[in-house]
Amino acid sequence: MPTSTFTLTDDQVIELAQELPDRKKHELLKLLLMQPWESWAKLTHDGPEKARQAAAQRGKD
């Protein structure tokens, strides 16, 4: 069976997601939450060191 490919904008993807039944929205949310987000990974990696630096600057280390 041949497959077709089409392109959607980000806004179109969001609109489609909003039309999903609640059960599927829940599945989509779980899928998204399980994926590592680069900005969150950087924050959680650098966060403790930055907190120590901020505390040291305030004399609270």
Q: From start to end of the chain, where are the E strands?
A: none
pLDDT in tens, 22-39: 999 999 999 888 877 777
Q: Is the pLDDT of residue 12 over 90?
A: yes
Q: Domain of residue 47: give its range.
A: 10-57
Q: In percent, how much of the chain has pLDDT > 90?
A: 43
Q: Provide the token pair at 22.
A: 């609640």
pLDDT reported for residue 45: 72
Q: Is the pLDDT of residue 40 over 80?
A: no
Q: Specify if 46 maps to a domain.
A: yes
Q: Specify if 35 maps to a domain.
A: yes
Domain count, the chain: 1
Q: Is the pLDDT of residue 61 over 70?
A: no
Q: Specify if 47 maps to a domain.
A: yes
**Residue whose entry in the numeric block shows the structure tokens 């403790």:** 48
Instruction: Give me the count of residues in the chain.
Output: 61
Q: Specify if 5 maps to a domain.
A: no
Distance, in Å, from the CA atom of 20 to the CA atom of 51, rounded to the nearest integer, reads: 41
Q: Specify if 27 maps to a domain.
A: yes
Q: Is the pLDDT of residue 52 over 90?
A: no
CA of 22: how far to CAs of 8, 17, 26, 28, 33, in Å? 22, 10, 6, 10, 16
Q: Specify if 1 maps to a domain.
A: no
